Structures are given as structure tokens and as C-alpha cells.
Homo-oligomer: A and B are copies of this chain.
Amino acid sequence: MTSDIPRPPDHMSPEEFRRNGHAMIDWVANYLQTADDFPVFSQVEPGEVAAMIPDAASEAGEPFEALLRDLDDVVMPGITHWQSPNWFAYFPANTSPPSILAELASAGLGVQGMLWSTSPAATEIESKVLDWLVDMMELPQSWKSTGPGGGVIQMSASDSTHAVLVVARHRNRERGHAEDMVVYASTQAHSSVAKGCTVAGIGHVREIAVDDTWAMRPDALRKAVEADLADGLLPIAVVSVVGTTGTTAVDPVSGIADVASEHNLWHHVDAAYAGNAMVCEEFRHHIKGVDRVDSYTFNPHKWMMVNFDCNVLWVADRVPLIETLSVLPPYLVNKATESGAVIDYRDWHVPLGRRFRALKLWWVIRSYGISGIQALIRSHVVLAGSLADRIVSDDRFDLFAPHPFGLVCFTHRGGNDTTSALADALNNSGKVAVTPSTLDGTAYIRVVVGQARTTSHHVDELWNLIDALAPSVSR
């Protein structure tokens, strides 16, 4: 070979990587200790971060020190601190030290687990750890990889819900047009159901009425299905939500399973947030009937200290999923696949490529143990209860909904404007993040106790802030 072959600059040798890597670890360790000190919501104005970045890439490379400097100067002002223990907004998106290190290992290995053969460890650890979770949460044994079902890690619950809606549509394709198909979910279901139907080209989403706990009414579901059948439409699927985004309402899985069974609907359970609580026995009554559903999804990246992205989808029967999503071009043919003895996860979702995400789930479960994860969930639920108690005993506030898990919803008796102003004042303080929302015309405040480092101290401080910022009610 000649020596005139252009060579890329030998940027960051393994030895330089080692030195820069130690600096990066120190930076992250420092962040884990100081995340509490930043305003929780980023305070920048639109365009402010972009304005600090040159308009064009540079011809020459830059040293790592420049990147680290800009991490502090350019990136940090534009960060909203999901990892602050004062994070009470949306649902949490927890990370944890072992999860961070697993992401580092995964990025270093740089494998692509589309097929079993392209890294058997990525596939086999994924199947094994999802089997662990079945036992940890007392889910149906048939969902294990050794049974007719199976689990797969996807990017988000939206992806999983979309995927099963596609399967439901696909298996009914001989019955009529997608535009005439109907999917059912409560008025409180996550936006991913409507979005999933739009993306899948399913014509109708019926919002089913809820009871006074915001949970779906199976009788209303049955009536809606019957009405659609009478109109010549094609009911294909129902989504039960265990822990709605608005108020963590719990749809009655068993009652919905009755209707699903009567009408041969694919029954999907979206337990994105609350599914994590099933690691504790005392919450499992919320998913009674789960042995009769077709698919179930939850997000370890919400409340199990596994950093985003790590969503789990289980199906009771893997055949319709794989039949819908499998394509095998000649360049992916290989002996292991042909043997039928392995799982090729590319057939379980829309994308072909996949990162080695099972590593972080495995490391987090091993690091904390079942008891550690249970303790995390229980501490948050107790703390949420203590906050709810203080809200109930204060004559300025009303609880807006039951709080079966870590979410507390409340209103100010001064009405919508006062409630919204209180939410804004809390967020503008920079000291906490909460989520203002509305339901049936009522403004309320969502407070989720769920960040991995949140303790009674942070909840006390949150309450003190609410107490200080909320006006009294004139009588």
C-alpha cells in the first residue's frame, strides 16, 4: 500500500480518551452533586442558546477542552434539570449512577443489536432481564421469552402503543378499510393513542367516558363498541391506562378485558409511569385482569432509575407482532436466524438498528436489587401522601383527584386564574418544577414525587414554597 492515502486526524487516542474521560466523569459527578443548585426550568429565551453557536462548522478540529468549556457556558444555561430533586413536573425521567455508567459502556462497545448474531449478548440479556421483570412484578408467566409471548425494549411508550395498534390493524386487514376501524380509550388516555392511530391510519378513536375517579367506564365502552358495530364500523382495539398522565387514574383492566373478549378487541395496557409501582405487591391490585390482555407497556425510564430511553413492551403472543413487522432481505440472512433458535429483535419494532439498552436495565436492577427499587417507589408514594395530607388540611386548596401513586393534583379555591398563577409562580421561582394542566375546564397543578434523589426535605421545601406563594381565600 502506498503512503499517500488520506488519513483522518488521529484525534483523541485511547490515552487521550482516558484523560478526557476522567475529566468528563468528574464533570458528571460534580453535576450529580450540584443539580439542585440550578434553576429547575432553563431560564433562556428562544434563540439564546443558538446565538452562542457559530453559524458554520469549523474546518479544523477543536480540543476536548473547548467542548467541556462550552458544556458549561453554552449547554448548561439551556438545560432544564430533570435530575434535580426539586423536579415535580410531568412524569420523572430518572437516571442513576449505574445507569449512566452502563450508557458509557454501551457507547464504548458500540454494538448494533438488530440481529441475535450482531451481538448475542445484547439480545440474550434483554430477554433475560425482561423475564426477571415478569417475576418482579408478578406479571403473567406466559409473557416470558420461554412462553408464547415475550418482551422487547423500545424507545418510548408512544412507539410501543403505535406498534400494537399497527398489529391490531394488520390482523384485521381482511375485514375492511383502516379508515373504518375504531380504537377505544378513555377521555384521559395519553396523546400517544390518538397519535398512534393517526400514524397507523386508523380512522376512528373513541374517547370513552370516565367515572368520578377519571377511570374508564366499561359499560360506556361496551355501548360505544355496539354503536360502532351497528354503524358498520370495525372495532379493533382498546387501550386501558393504568395511571393516566392527567391524574394517574386507573382504568379497570378486568372489566375492560370482558368487553375486549366479547368483541375480539386487541387489549393493550399503557402503564407507562404506574407500571413501575408493580414491583411492590401492594399496588398490583391495580392491574387485576392483566393475565387477559394482549400487550402491556411501561417505562423503566420514568420511575426505575434507568435513563431514557428504556421502554418495555410485552405481548402475550409474539406471533402476530412478528408476522406484522418481519422483513428479511438477503443481506440479513444468517445461520442463527435460520435455525429458529434465537430472537431477532429487529422483527419486534419499526426500526432495524438498535442500541444495547438492556445493559443499563440489567445494571440498575442488579445495583439496587428488588428491595432497593421497592424502597424508592414506596418512599415516593409516602411522600406524595404526606403532601396530599397538607393540601387537604389547608383551607386554600382542594385535592383534584385521588393519588394512588406519586402524583398529587390540586387546585386553589380561588379558581382557575389563581391556580394557574400559583403554578407559574412556583415555576418562575426557579426552585421547583411543577406542571400546570386543565381537565374539563378546571385548571390544576400536577406535582409528581418521583425524582430518584427527592427526599422528605425537598417535599417539605416544596410545601413551604406553595404555602408562601399561594394567596389566602377571602371568606
Measured CA separation A28–B459 after assembly (Å):
39
Known pairs A159-B350, A173-B179 / 13 extra A-B pairs, C-beta < 8 Å: A6-B374, A12-B98, A14-B97, A41-B117, A46-B116, A47-B124, A61-B367, A75-B109, A75-B359, A78-B121, A100-B107, A158-B352, A191-B332
Is A162 close to B, CB under 8 A?
Answer: yes
Closest B residue to A371 by CB, please name it: B59
Is A53 close to B, CB under 8 A?
Answer: yes
CB pair B107 A307 closer than 8 Å: yes
CB pair A22 B22 closer than 8 Å: yes
Interface bits A49-63 vs B (CB < 8 Å: 1, else 0):
110010111111110
Closest B residue to A200 by CB, please name it: B201
Given contacts A59-B371, A177-B179, A352-B191, contact A46 B382 (CB under 8 A): no
Closest B residue to A95 by CB, please name it: B110
- Cβ contacts under 8 Å, A382 to chain B: 5-6
Is A437 close to B, CB under 8 A?
Answer: yes
Interface bits A97-119 vs B (CB < 8 Å: 1, else 0):
11111011111111110001111
- Cβ contacts under 8 Å, A227 to chain B: none
CB pair A47 B7 closer than 8 Å: no
Interface bits A312-338 vs B (CB < 8 Å: 1, else 0):
000000000000110111111100100
CB pair A120 B194 closer than 8 Å: no
Copies of this subunit: 2
CB pair B370 A59 closer than 8 Å: yes
State the Cβ distance, A141 to closest chain B Cβ, in Å.
Answer: 12
Is A15 close to B, CB under 8 A?
Answer: yes
CB pair A107 B104 closer than 8 Å: yes
Interface residues on chain A, size class = 35 or more
- A173-228: which residues lie under 8 A (CB-CB) from chain B? 173, 177-179, 190-192, 194-196, 198-201
Is A29 close to B, CB under 8 A?
Answer: yes
Is A229 close to B, CB under 8 A?
Answer: no
CB pair A331 B8 closer than 8 Å: no
The listed residue (B53, B156, B459) touching A1 by CB distance below 8 A is B459
Q: List 29 A-B contacts (CB under 8 A).
A: A5-B382, A5-B456, A8-B372, A11-B98, A18-B29, A21-B28, A21-B29, A21-B104, A22-B22, A24-B105, A25-B25, A25-B104, A28-B108, A32-B108, A41-B117, A42-B120, A47-B124, A56-B132, A57-B135, A57-B365, A62-B367, A78-B121, A80-B118, A82-B118, A173-B201, A177-B178, A178-B178, A192-B352, A330-B439
State the Cβ distance, A305 to closest chain B Cβ, in Å.
Answer: 8
Interface bits A448-475 vs B (CB < 8 Å: 1, else 0):
0000100111011000000000000000
The listed residue (B103, B195, B456) touching A103 by CB distance below 8 A is B103
- Cβ contacts under 8 Å, A14 to chain B: 29-30, 32-33, 97
The listed residue (B15, B157, B198, B353) touching A29 by CB distance below 8 A is B15
Is A259 close to B, CB under 8 A?
Answer: no
Is A383 close to B, CB under 8 A?
Answer: yes
CB pair A74 B121 closer than 8 Å: yes
- A343-380: which residues lie under 8 A (CB-CB) from chain B? 350-355, 359, 363, 365-376, 378-379
The listed residue (B21, B57, B194, B336) touching A370 by CB distance below 8 A is B57
CB pair A110 B308 closer than 8 Å: yes
Given contacts A18-B25, A97-B20, A124-B78, contact A64 B367 (CB under 8 A): yes
Measured CA separation A18–B460 after assembly (Å):
29
* The 10 nearest A-B residue pairs measured at CB: A78-B121, A21-B25, A28-B108, A95-B110, A1-B456, A103-B107, A12-B97, A156-B351, A8-B376, A61-B369
- Cβ contacts under 8 Å, A109 to chain B: 31, 75, 79, 83
The listed residue (B21, B156, B367) touching A12 by CB distance below 8 A is B367
Is A435 close to B, CB under 8 A?
Answer: yes
CB pair A128 B94 closer than 8 Å: no
State the Cβ distance, A206 to closest chain B Cβ, in Å.
Answer: 16
Is A246 close to B, CB under 8 A?
Answer: yes
Measured CA separation A121–B78 after assembly (Å):
4
Is A264 close to B, CB under 8 A?
Answer: no
CB pair B74 A353 closer than 8 Å: no
